[in-house]
Structure 1
Amino acid sequence: MSGEKYIVAATDNPTQISIRNMLNPYGFMFLGNCSDSISLLRLIRSYNPDFVVIDMGLQLRDIKPVIDTIDDEMLCPCILVGQSKDMETEDLQEKSKVVTLCPKPLNKELFIHTVEMSLISFKRISKLDRKLREMTENYETRKAVERAKWILMEREGINESEAYERMRKKSMDTRTPIKALAEAVIFAYELGDKSKG
């Protein structure tokens, strides 16, 4: 692995320089640095790095909301560099999809290995996250289509395959996703029920 872009978040210049001196010879490309959590999120959104290195000199309570945002949006892996592993840090690492911890003082080989493993893990988790979203979307689509089929069967007096074929044809003719069409059928049905009651 090389050519991956990174950002450093650290309160002091020597730490930033030390991290860059370890990563750059291995082909990693430095994009920028910052010393506070607000700037970190802004840099991540601006530069779209492959990973960020966060020195634990920054207070965890200040960077936790940023890490939560990075985690929720799956923006990039975060390597936390710190001297101690307290309960709060362990909890963050356990619950996060993007956080890896590397102890201080930094050992070059261990640090490079941590970065590489973080990148590999992030790719795997991103792929699984995408698959999970797709499966959820497919499930929601199937659920809506099944419900709409039963509504059409009840209203039109047709069988299941005819109901599905009508929806599929209407979807193709109008270039409307079948899920949106099914939701429209359900909405119209529920609206009709409310007006009767």
Structure 2
Amino acid sequence: MNCTKFLVTGQDKKQLTVVKNTLTTNGYIFVGYSSDPTSLLRYVRNIQPDLLIMELSYNFKDLKQTIQVIDEELLSACILLLDSRNDEVLEFLKNTRIASYLTKPVTNDVLLQIADLSMSNFLRIKEYEDKLRQLNNTLENRKVIEKAKWILVEKDGYTEMDAYKIIKKKSRDNRITMHEIAEAIILARGSDC
């Protein structure tokens, strides 16, 4: 069963009702409606929908910054509903990771396909971002440990392997991470390098 929460925003209530009915009858969970573009970001952060459907009958410029923040922070997948093809919006969407668009009138099948694809892509991007963050943390930890090892090698004459074993043993004995031990070594002994 689909447990995707969605939020709709815009002025065209008739079109948004069609969107809401189509998605809810296919297992999506409706969590709210917003007609005010200025409070939309706060609403998205509070409700945390998986999918945001934005009907763009009002000025795109009002929503552009909000969409950028949602994209940068990976708050939710977005589908923009346009009255017609709009080159400004399309150019903007080329630089986003989480937004796609549909032109009105929206058919049920197309909406469901785009919603499913948008969610799939959003989850994949979120997973890649998490992996990238983990890899960056691992790399930073290794850099700090290498620096601490170098301090032990240079100042105390340990071999590289022995320096690593010392950091590892202190980590185990004190039940803290090797990164924290390495930082302590750098703070205590690294300043006089």
Q: Output the TM-score relative to the length of structure 1.
A: 0.88
- 2:57–2:83 CA contact under 8 A, matched in 1: no
Residues 2-44 of structure 1, C-alpha deviation per residue, up to 9 Å, x if partnerless? 2321100112322322221222221212111011233322222
**What corresponds to 1:153 in structure 2?**
153
**Which residue does 1:32 correspond to in 2?**
32
Report what 1:128 is aligned to. 128
In structure 2, the residue matched to 1:98 is 98
Write out per-residue CA displacement over residues 48-102 of structure 1, whole angstroms, 9 at most, x where no aligned residue: 2121100112322222222222222212101111133434322332222211111
Q: C-alpha distance in 1, partners of 2:121/2:65? A: 22
Q: Contact (CA 8 Å) 1:12, 1:35: kept in 2 or not?
A: no
Quick check: 1:3–1:28 contact (8 Å CA) kept in 2?
A: yes
Relative to structure 1, the CA distance from residue 122 to residue 173 in structure 2 (aligned partners, 3 Å threshold; closer, same or farther) is same
CA–CA distance in structure 2, aligned partners of residues 152 and 86 of structure 1: 62
**How big is the shift at 1:148?**
1.3
Runs (4+) of structure 1 exceeding 4 A deviation are none
* 1:158 alignment partner AA: Y
Unaligned runs of at least 5 residues, structure 2:
none
Deviation of the 1:190 alpha carbon: 4.6
Matches within 5 A, 1:136-147: 136-147=136-147
Q: Tell me the CA shift for residue 124 of structure 1.
A: 1.1
What's the counterpart of residue 182 of structure 1? 182
Query: Could you tell which deviates more after superposition, 156-165 or 3-12?
Result: 3-12
For residues 53 and 168 of structure 1, do their structure 2 counterparts lie closer, same or farther at Cα, with a shift above 3 Å needed?
same
Aligned to 1:168: 168
The whole-number CA distance in structure 2 between the counterparts of 1:41 and 1:63 is: 9
Higher alpha-carbon deviation: 107-116 or 1-10: 1-10
User: Which residue number corresponds to residue 49 of structure 2?
Assistant: 49
Structure showing the higher helix proportion among its residues: 1
| Bigger mean CA deviation after superposition, 1-10 or 117-126 | 1-10
| Matching residue of 2:77 | 77
C-alpha contact 1:36 1:58 (8 A) present in aligned 2: no
The 3 A distance-change label for structure 1 pair 191 and 88 is farther
Indicate conservation of the 8 Å contact 1:31/1:49, yes or no.
Answer: yes
* TM-score normalized by the length of structure 2: 0.90
